[in-house]
Chains A and B, each alone.
Chain A
Amino acid sequence: MPMSAAEIEGMIRSALPDAEVEIRDLAGDGDHYAAHVVSPAFAGKSRVQQHKMVYEALGGKMGGVLHALQLTTQAPT
């Protein structure tokens, strides 16, 4: 079963409670998503580190059930 946008958002928020999370269902098929995550926790971290924090929040789903998630991250400006 593919994941719902709400499920993805919930997992990211539970690991990064102060994050702003915006999820778009790219193809309208509940399988191809774009996520934009803004969190103070990203401050001073490299892009690779920021993405890894989100992947960790998704608990191993990335690359498995969630194969098509476009991700952009940033610290609040």
Chain B
Amino acid sequence: MSDTNERISGIVGENDVVLFMKGTPLFPQCGFSSRAVAILDHCGVAYESVDVLQDMDVRQGIKAFSDWPTIPQLYVKGEFVGGSDIMMEMFEAGELQQLLDEKAVAKA
């Protein structure tokens, strides 16, 4: 396993809810990341974010890690949930809230 993979694995393992995104929750640098942040804020959960623009290794590595070509990417309790489109679909169906409830993640 490469160093980057181990680092990503560590971040995903240590945080209940992690969003890999472009920019920060306060200053998202892309519309899709902005949408992902808005959804998580709506769900009212505490989450960690990783700005991939600050780390080229993670920016590339996260795509291989999940076999998913785009950013943002959401992980809950170590599991890859999806990108912003899937987050939106799940949110609209009430499934994201349900997942976060079931996994008993901390509220913001």
Contacts and interface: CB of A to CB of B under 8 A. Distances in A.
Given A52-B68, A55-B69, A70-B85, 7 more contacts: A47-B86, A47-B89, A47-B90, A48-B80, A51-B83, A62-B69, A68-B32
| Main SS at interface, chain A | mixed
A17 B89 CA distance: 24
Contacts of B68: 48, 52, 55
A72 interface: yes
Secondary structure at chain B's binding surface: helix, strand, loop or mixed? mixed
A28 interface: no
A44 interface: no
Interface of A: 47-48, 51-52, 55, 60, 62-64, 67-68, 70-72
Interface residues on B, range: 10 to 19
Interface of B: 31-32, 63, 67-71, 80-83, 85-86, 89-90
A47 B82 CA distance: 8
A51 B68 CA distance: 9
